[in-house]
Amino acid sequence: MTAVLSLDRLGVRRRADGAALVTDVSLAVEAGGTLGIVGESGSGKSLTLRAALGILPPTLEATGGIRRDGRAAMVFQEPATALNPTLRVGSFVAGTWRRHHPGASRAAARAATVDLLAQVGIADPAARTRAWPHELSGGMRQRVMIAAALATDPRVLLCDEPTTALDVRVQARILALLRGLIADRGMALVFVSHDLAVVASVCARIAVMRAGSLVEEGPAARVLTEPRHPYTRELLEANLARRLAARPKESA
Ligand SMILES: Nc1ncnc2c1ncn2[C@@H]1O[C@H](COP(=O)(O)OP(=O)(O)O)[C@@H](O)[C@H]1O
Ligand SMILES: [Mg+2]
């Protein structure tokens, strides 16, 4: 199988002083495959995704090999800042669609937009095209961002903590949506989160990062049940502790 995205000893460093922020990350995701990248805050997950998509800030540079086969699109953590507050959400999605379908008519863009909003589970999508971002809930805004990403017809969707800013129930619905979309479209997914349980719920393979490096990578079931690296074990224990603490207390 061919990889839709492969990183070969990817590095990210600061141009000013050459300081390494990401070192020697080699990963690949195949057509229709799902790869989760997990690690604590600051471990280099976002920079790895940005480098893979070619959207690093100008003060940083990537080294090593980055190969994409087909289009990649990204969904960010904070839909409130990723959406343009001065555009109705329909215009935002339609604008993205039109950039990827040059020469298409306004009517075609409108029809495609309504269809995309429906695909991401937005009820009454034709009416919703006229909503402003601030009129929507966080979950709805994230659905709009996913619709805009799908407007480019990507072969791989890169998600950077797309549910971290959402409450647990909304998070579960967005994860279910993503699972459905990747299955229906045969799209590949790279899903970044600090939360191992979230990553495991959508990804067949899991990569663990720490301090800018990859510590292990493998099938999700194996990583969760037989972690090879002590840091992965630590993450698993922290995750379990967090979940137990969050469990509603039993009344005595
Ligand atoms: N634009 C930047 N300039 C300099 N350092 C950065 C920049 N962005 C991130 N970093 C640093 O690179 C490291 C990895 O960051 P990041 O990829 O955002 O981590 P994560 O997404 O895993 O939380 C962190 O130490 C962070 O402070
Ligand atoms: Mg990040």
What pLDDT, in 10s, does the model give residues 42-52? 999 999 999 99
pLDDT bracket for residue 239 (50, 70, 90): confident
157 bridge partner residues: 73, 189
pLDDT at 240: 79
Whether residues 61 and 161 fall in one domain? yes
Q: How many CB atoms lie within 10 A of CB 181?
A: 18
Atom of ligand 1 nearest to the CA of 47: 17
Cα–Cα distance for residue pair 244/249, rounded to 1 Å: 9
Query: Looking at the domain assignment, is residue 178 inside a domain?
Result: yes
Query: Looking at the domain assignment, is residue 76 inside a domain?
Result: no
What is the pLDDT averaged over residues 137-144? 94
Whether residues 210 and 241 fall in one domain? yes
> Around ion ligand 2, which residues have CB less than 5 A away?
46
pLDDT bracket for residue 145 (50, 70, 90): very high
Whether residues 64 and 163 fall in one domain? yes
Query: How much distance in Å is there from the Cα of 240 to the middle of ligand 1?
Result: 26
Helix (H) or strand (E) holding 218: strand 213-219
pLDDT at 244: 76
pLDDT over 80 at 99, yes or no:
yes
Whether residues 235 and 187 fall in one domain? yes
Q: How far, in Å, are 55, 62, 171 from residue 18 at the CA level?
A: 18, 11, 38
Query: Looking at the domain assignment, is residue 189 inside a domain?
Result: yes
pLDDT tens-digit map of 49-94: 999 999 999 999 999 999 999 999 999 987 667 788 999 999 999 9
Query: Looking at the domain assignment, is residue 77 inside a domain?
Result: no
The closest alpha carbon to 135, from 83, 74, 76, 173, belongs to 83
What is the pLDDT averaged over residues 96-111? 96
User: Per the structure block, which two tokens stand in for 151?
Assistant: 């407007």
pLDDT over 70 at 250, yes or no:
no
Q: How many domains does the chain have?
A: 2
Whether residues 169 and 60 fall in one domain? yes
Domain that holds residue 135: 82-151
Whether residues 239 and 133 fall in one domain? no
Whether residues 240 and 168 fall in one domain? yes
Whether residues 140 and 170 fall in one domain? no
Ligand 1 pocket test: pick from 17, 21, 23 the residue with the most ligand atoms within 8 Å of its Cβ. 21
Contact 198, 34 (CB under 8 A): no
Whether residues 162 and 48 fall in one domain? yes
pLDDT over 80 at 222, yes or no:
yes
Query: Looking at the domain assignment, is residue 30 inside a domain?
Result: yes
3 bridge partner residues: 30
